[in-house]
Amino acid sequence: MSLHPQLHFRPVDEGDDLEALTALIRAAYAPHAASGLRYWATHQSVEDTAKRLAAGHGFVALQDDQVVATVTLREPEPDSKVPLLREPGTWSFGQFAVAPEYKGKGFGRQIHDFAVAFACTHGCQRMALHTAQPATALIAMYRSWGYAEAGTCDWRPHTNYLSVLMSKALSPPPASPQC
């Protein structure tokens, strides 16, 4: 028996319940809200979820046909105010959430690795993310996944903190088992 059960991954589709997906995202970020951090995900509406999904590639992870995690990938954003996110070949991820009752089972790492592999096979050369500067546990987790700090950015008024930008270079397929 595996300590980390395998999940099934698929793109978010029009049949998915965006109210339920938004509730999962908000529940996953509730501890951050309780600590005073105003991630967009702590208060986003169903309409925000739909817009964020439409701006990228949304995926869900299922265990026994139940959505337990989600992530949205974004291709390079030529109009971003953040230079790193404008760079050709640099993708980013957000709306990264694991349902609270499934945290600590390796599901976040599994959907992350799936998303990175998808991005890599579609031209991604560098994966980027941003998270709250005070979220030291998240920053440490991303470091353990191979990310390094690459600067800061400010998303206020959607947030109430300075964000840390992190990134990691990816090798093109088939040179890396990651891709």
Q: Quick check: 172 pLDDT over 70? A: no
Nearest to 71 by CA among 107, 32, 33: 107
pLDDT at residue 173, as a whole number: 57
Q: Quick check: 176 pLDDT over 60? A: no
Tokens of 40: 């967009």
For residue range 144-169, list pLDDT tens digits in order.
999 999 999 998 888 899 999 999 99
Domains of the chain (ranges; CATH) run 8-169 (3.40.630.30)
For residue range 127-144, list pLDDT tens digits in order.
999 999 999 999 999 999
